[in-house]
Amino acid sequence: MAIKIGVIGSESSLDKIRDIQPYLQDTCELTFIPISATEEVVQTYQENKALFHSIVFGGALGIREVMEQAYPEKTTPPYYFIEFSDSDFYRGLLKFMSKNNQLDLSRVLIDFLEPQNNYYGLKDIFARESFPLTCEQFSFAHQFNEIIEHHISLWKNGLSDLSITHVGSIATRLQTEGIPVIFMYPSAESIIEQLNRIITETQLINLQENQSCFGYIAIDKRELEASKEEYQHLLDDSLAEFKQTHPIGMIQKHNGIEVIISYGELKELTQNFKACLLQNHFKDTLSFKVNIGWGIGIDLHQAQLNAQKAIKEAEHNWAGNSFLVTAENKVIGPLGSDVIHSFTSEIDPDLEAKGKELGITPLQIKKIIATIQKRHSEELTSDILAYHLGVTIRTANRILNKLEEKGIAKVAYMNQEKLRGRPRKVYTLQTTLLHS
């Protein structure tokens, strides 16, 4: 299937991209969507984003800032820009000056010279009195019309002889005013190279979006002292309520609930793998704990296996939480916690042997290392370790005692946080010994 790309820009920039379309017809399908001003960017993207695998803007000047303000985080489909590189600028400027070597550059308005691009290095070449005119006092994102009026004003007042821009709609407007203007745009080779890179990245994202996703939902086994049937009915009712606003496919099983979901739906449900809206709903509507394991895979079988790994990880977490295992065997969780860990679930033989030697699991070793790295400190208490590993303080004390016995942890000092009660041991860990 050909990648569908929507190209948004001025007619002038779209014409430049149309010229290279034959070189890309075997790998992508381009659809051209004209706009005439920066103010139209966000609405045009919003109206067309569902139709394409990705969106490409004909230029970045002003548009990048507008899009980043509207979409501060990654959005779907991804959007890109045809960038105007230094080499594109120097090539265009040298070509122009070779034909107009008598022109006074200080009377040429180049509207895209600004501190953000270091004036393309021209301040290192030209003295102040011979430096081109600029629009650096204006913002392309918010003062587009003012920039056009600045071009016109300088020309009508006899202060400029020529305008240079790489914004197609500005070039078109200046031409209608009878102002000499040069529309600088990336070369055909540059456009083809950039679009090929965008196509490759879009294909990779598309493959990822088509990954299979699977979920297991189960009442925490420690909660099943009461009526299992009663709890299951309450869980079913809570799920039915959640499905009214978040439609997801479910299969009822005797030992839990299986969920089949798309990659995009899972990203939305977990807010890009940072939280879990379903888990939040359970915590708001149920008095007992529910574990959720999400799995992603290149096929449904791998997704199911990863979901099994994820729910086992959730079952080890005393709070009743959600975990996710990706197609690359990366474990992420607990989702929604202040201490989300991310580590590979693949266990190498050395780590497995180390776990047996210490009497703790290889995954617990990985979590301990991840906790120390995240806190930027080798000091741990049983409270801190319990919080980060999602275990009871009693279990955390047992782990620390085992590490102390093996010489990996030692008591650095005692900490008395309250006037009453026993002081707590503060351990220092030698993490290098956990690896060896």
Residue-by-residue DSSP string for 323-373? EEE-TT-EEEESTTSTT-EEEE----HHHHHHHHHHTS-HHHHHHHHHHHH
For residue 43 the two structure tokens come to 């609405």
- Select from 53, 67, 38 the least CA-distant residue to 7: 53
**Alpha-carbon span 240 to 234, nearest angstrom:** 10
Domain 210-346, CATH = 3.30.70.270
For residue 419 the two structure tokens come to 């006037």
- Assign domain 3-83+188-208 to its CATH superfamily: Response regulator (3.40.50.2300)
Would 3-83+188-208 and 86-183 be classified into the same CATH topology?
A: yes
The pLDDT tens digits of the residues spanning 411-425 come to 988 877 665 667 888
**Strand 341-344 relative to strand 290-297, pairing:** unpaired
The pLDDT tens digits of the residues spanning 179-215 come to 999 999 999 999 999 999 999 998 888 877 778 899 9
Sheet containing strand 341-344, edge to edge, reads 249-253, 256-262, 212-219, 290-297, 322-325, 330-333, 341-344
Q: Which fold has domain 347-436?
A: Arc Repressor Mutant, subunit A (1.10.10)
Residue 226 has pLDDT above 60, yes or no: no
Q: Which fold has domain 86-183?
A: Rossmann fold (3.40.50)
The pLDDT tens digits of the residues spanning 274-298 come to 999 999 999 999 988 899 999 999 8
CB-based contacts of 432, cutoff 8 Å, min separation 6: none
CB 345 within 8 A of CB 325: yes
Crossing angle of the two packed helices 349-358 and 362-375, in degrees rounded to 10? 90
Q: Where are the domains of the chain?
A: 3-83+188-208, 86-183, 210-346, 347-436
Residue whose entry in the numeric block shows the structure tokens 């196509």: 199
The pLDDT tens digits of the residues spanning 118-145 come to 999 999 889 999 999 999 999 888 888 9
